[in-house]
Amino acid sequence: MVVITLSLSIYRSIDVEDNGGMYFMLGVCLLGFVIIEVLMIVFTRRGDLPKGKTWFLYFVGVCVIFEAIFTDVLLFQ
């Protein structure tokens, strides 16, 4: 879902003549949240973060999905 949203934001930023950079930045912001999520997963698997805090990983994952949905809605309103 994140890859689809990122590709749609790049397409929309090229397609729109004004405020195209805003659409691109929405995709970059979403990509930043995904990178943070992946880093947290890596730290949890290596043992740097306690296993009891895995609920936070699921919470951040749900927030990433919501952000992808809201970005898609904003791209094509």
pLDDT of 66 over the 90 cut: yes
For the whole model, what pTM was predicted? Answer: 0.80
3-class SS string, 3-63 = HHHHHHHHHHHHHCCCCHHHHHHHHHHHHHHHHHHHHHHHHHHHCCCCHHHHHHHHHHHHH
In this predicted structure, the answer to whether residue 73 has a pLDDT above a threshold of 80 is: yes
The per-residue pLDDT for range 8-50, each reduced to its tens digit, is 888 888 887 777 788 888 889 999 999 999 998 898 889 888 8
* Every domain of the chain and the residues it spans: 2-75
How far is Cα 64 from Cα 58, in angstroms, rounded to an integer? 10
